[in-house]
Amino acid sequence: MPDVVPTSAPRSEELFARARAVTPGGVNSPVRAFNAVGGTPRFIRSASGAWLTDVDGREYVDLICSWGPMLLGHAHPEVLAEVEAAVRRGTSYGTPTEPEVELAEEIVARTSVERVRFVSSGTEATMSAIRLARGATGRDVVVKFAGCYHGHVDSLLASAGSGLATFSVPGTPGVPESSTALTLVLPYNDRGAVEAAFADHGDRIACVITEAAPGNMGVVPPEPGFNGFLAETCRRHGALFISDEVMTGFRVTRTGQWGLDGAVEGWRPDLVTFGKVMGGGFPAAAFGGRADLMAQLSPEGPVYQAGTLSGNPVATTAGLTTLRLATDEVYAHLGSVADTLKTAASDALSVAGVPHVVQATGTMFSIFLLDGGPVRDFDDASRTDSAAYAAFFHAMLDAGVHLPPSAYEAWFVSAAHDDRAVQTVLDALPGAARAAAAAQEGPA
Ligand SMILES: *Cc1c(COP(=O)(O)O)cnc(C)c1O
């Protein structure tokens, strides 16, 4: 554990310059570029347990955990052993294999889904679930919520139109208006907006897709009963309810689905998407649901969907081993580490006089640097003081703690976050909170 971490990162600087010469922004996924916090991203050479080691040899407590997947920590010995054995048997055959059957059985046993199909990314999972929902209902319109992220699917990279229940506009160049013209973007946690959308377009709505508990605008839990309300509204109108658990699935609870454990009304989502933890750090994701709906998929049914590396034997082995090792004790440990960290962060920010709101869904939490609260939707989250977060982030980084380089992300912990890792974070917090206080934007 380094006592003093210099802020310069010469090898990372050099690699970043080389990366930018050959890759847009120097990264293969935008958030990694540090655009939201400034500075040079740390190029990581290796990771073990709760720790990342960068190419300059500095160590950081990892609070990104690959944006969720590394539930057990990095380079877990048993996961590595199974993966190494799988690699020696060959890495891809393009034929059915035993590990994919075992992983599917594990997911079916633990969750509400009756059939599951594997893909290689969460984006593919949501894209395929929406295609299936449209194919099964014979309808075209998709409802999503502002601030919920479902991967970079054309029809979901949409911004709200000019009013409630009006069709949306592309959220990025390169997405044609025709791709988002059938998407309705509504404010999260807003039952009235959902009712208005169904009143106007109910017989055209194929599905509502929502993060089971949003983590991609920071952690914004559904208000009690909101998911059940969505499921029931869909049922009444003959639409399907897609619960996107790519982030929450197997991270928040052992039984896979936060949205399910969170429900008391006895509803079930029609389709569910998974990713991140179920891939154990490999490119694997899935969508699943009711058997009759999944039977609509090719080759059993007419809705086409396929993938060269889908159900890859190495990836499914990593996922299966991870899920088998994710015991109740693991989730209890994640919960206690998360509690310690969020309490300490909140205390440090209070002492430094930085207004903030801590929100959590199970062991997934985030800290919004803003006055007031709770944060109910994307508009609320957008009031975050980005300058204060950037200062906080860099002070933590300098003290050996790697937070997500964006104010709108959850902090992730793992089973490998032990006392030494936690203490490193606790030691870093007061200074980072003072840095945030000094950088606050104008009067609150
Ligand atoms: C990460 C994420 C996705 C996209 O998954 P990728 O594997 O990055 O394509 C989709 N939905 C949610 C809720 C996510 O958190």
Q: What is the pLDDT of residues 109-138, one digit of tens each?
A: 999 999 999 999 999 999 999 999 999 999
State what percent of residues in the chain have pLDDT above 90.
Answer: 87
State residue 173 phi and psi, 5-degree precision. Answer: -60, 150
Return the H-helix or E-strand segment holding 185.
strand 183-186
State residue 376 phi and psi, 5-degree precision. Answer: -100, -25
Ligand 1 atom showing the smallest separation from residue 216 Cα: 15
Does 245 sit in the ligand 1 pocket, CB within 6 Å? no
Does 69 sit in the ligand 1 pocket, CB within 6 Å? no
Does 12 sit in the ligand 1 pocket, CB within 6 Å? no
Ligand 1 atom showing the smallest separation from residue 247 Cα: 15
| CATH architecture of the domain with range 10-71+327-441 | Alpha-Beta Complex (3.90)
Contacts of 339 (CB under 8 A, 6+ apart): none
Q: Which of 56, 60, 149, 408 is catalytic?
A: 149
SS3 readout for 305-339: CCCCCCCCHHHHHHHHHHHHHCCHHHHHHHHHHHH
| The pLDDT of residue 83 is above 50 | yes
Burial 332-349 (b: 16+ CB within 10 A, else e): ebbeebbebbbebbbebb
Domain coordinates in residue numbering, the chain: 10-71+327-441, 77-325
Q: Which of 62, 244, 270, 385 is catalytic?
A: 244
In whole angstroms, how far apart are CA 98 and each of 79, 90, 313, 320, 398?
A: 17, 13, 8, 11, 46
Distance 249 CA to ligand 1 centre (A): 11
pLDDT on residue 2:
41
> How does residue 444 score in pLDDT terms, banded at 50, 70 and 90?
very low
Distance 444 CA to ligand 1 centre (A): 33
Dihedral sign of CA atoms 330, 260, 343, 367 in order? positive
Does 151 sit in the ligand 1 pocket, CB within 6 Å? yes
Does 149 sit in the ligand 1 pocket, CB within 6 Å? yes
> How does residue 268 score in pLDDT terms, banded at 50, 70 and 90?
confident
Q: CATH number of the domain at 77-325, please?
A: 3.40.640.10
Q: Which region among 159-168, 239-248, 408-417 has the lowest average model confidence (pLDDT)? A: 159-168
Q: Are strands 141-145 and 205-211 parallel, antiparallel or unpaired?
A: parallel
State what percent of residues in the chain have pLDDT above 70.
Answer: 95
149: annotated active-site residue: yes
The amino acid at residue 119 is V
Count CA atoms closer than 13 A to 197's CA, side-chain side.
33
Does 211 sit in the ligand 1 pocket, CB within 6 Å? yes
Work out the average pLDDT over 169-182: 90
* DSSP notation for 11-69: HHHHHHHHHHHHSGGGSSSGGGG-TTT-S-PPPEEEEEBTEEEETTS-EEEESSGGGTT
> How does residue 220 score in pLDDT terms, banded at 50, 70 and 90?
very high
Distance 143 CA to ligand 1 centre (A): 17
| The pLDDT of residue 172 is above 60 | yes
| The pLDDT of residue 373 is above 90 | no
Work out the average pLDDT over 53-73: 97
